[in-house]
Amino acid sequence: MVRTRSSGRYAFPSVNMAREMTLPVPTSVLWRTSDSHVPYEKALADMDVRVDAILEGRGGEEVWLLEHPPVYTAGTSANEADLVDARFPVFRTGRGGQYTYHGPGQRVAYVMLDLKVRRPDVRAYVRGLEEWIIRALKILGVQGERRDGRVGIWVMRIENGVEREDKIAAIGVRMRKWITFHGISLNVAPDLSHYSGIVPCGVKAHGVTSLKELGINAGMKDVDEALRTAFEEVFDTPTRVHAPPRFS
């Protein structure tokens, strides 16, 4: 089933990824959700298969929603000193960024899009991911914000009468011949103590938070629906849940 897009609800031409393209944007994006926890190495292998299929014309674009068992991942800019306590498996990955944590209660969204037919611009793509998260959070009742020089989405909150700034969503991307993979992670209700084993994204001055810690009573299905609605707006492409076999 393909959902019709709702383009034009908001006027954000600077982040509309369908703008300034030279070829037609795909008619829909496969929206896939895994209900069980997916091992990190399996997710990497699955993304590789999908990216190759897109490159070879055997498969289409996909957004894959999932949760991982607890794991730390190191991006290409990771500083070894930021791995404080390797209590969980550590994976070196080719995505951008530094150390981050994935685990139960966190919604990971891996995004495999063909920027050749959208807009071959890495900065515009990352800004599109940021806008996607911000709009999804707005649907859920949270004001997410960008910060210059810090990738990810941040929230301001009051704790014990003191204003603080915490990260609620991370972004890490990789590309192969303009096909994107890896993507975003949004803290819904993870065990935030698991972050103590690393310096998240190399930022020591600020903490991490979650929807649960902010008092937002949202389950994964609520988060998934907000992400889907916001994705269709920002990337100006409808999504479909049911599809033929993944690859020929």
pLDDT per residue over 24-75, tens digit each? 567 899 999 999 999 999 999 999 999 999 999 999 999 999 999 999 998 8
Annotated catalytic residue within 189, 201, 208, 223: 201
Q: Is 140 among the domain residues?
A: yes
Q: Is 19 among the domain residues?
A: no
Which pLDDT belongs to residue 27? 82
Q: What is the mean pLDDT of residues 149-157?
A: 89
CATH code of 169's domain? 3.30.930.10
Per the structure, the count of domains in the chain is 1
Q: Is 145 among the domain residues?
A: yes
Q: Is 242 among the domain residues?
A: no
Which pLDDT belongs to residue 25? 64
pLDDT grade for 246, boundaries at 50, 70 and 90: low
Which pLDDT belongs to residue 14? 38
Q: Is 34 among the domain residues?
A: yes
CA dihedral defined by 18, 100, 151, 162, rounded to 10 degrees?
Answer: 130
pTM across the whole model: 0.86
Q: Any idea which of 13-17, 134-138, 140-144 has the lowest mean pLDDT? A: 13-17
Q: Is 170 among the domain residues?
A: yes
- 158-165, long-range: CB within 8 Å, 24+ apart, which pairs? 164/206, 164/207, 165/206
Which pLDDT belongs to residue 149? 82
The residue segments making up the domain with residue 48 are 29-237
Is a pLDDT exceeding 60 seen at residue 163? Answer: yes
pLDDT grade for 5, boundaries at 50, 70 and 90: very low
Question: Do 76 and 143 contact (CB within 8 A), yes or no?
Answer: no
Stronger pLDDT, 208 or 149, i.e. the higher one: 208
Nearest Cα neighbor of 223 from 172, 190, 187 is 187
User: Above pLDDT 90, what percent of the chain?
Assistant: 69
Question: Do 239 and 232 contact (CB within 8 A), yes or no?
Answer: yes
Q: What is the mean pLDDT of residues 140-168?
A: 90
85-109 burial by CB neighbour count: b if 16+ within 10 A, else e?
eeebebeebebbbbbbbbbebbbbb
Stronger pLDDT, 59 or 12, i.e. the higher one: 59
Q: Is 16 among the domain residues?
A: no
Q: Is 23 among the domain residues?
A: no
Is a pLDDT exceeding 70 seen at residue 82? Answer: yes
Q: What is the mean pLDDT of residues 7-34?
A: 58
Is 122 part of the annotated catalytic residue set?
no
Is a pLDDT exceeding 70 seen at residue 13? Answer: no
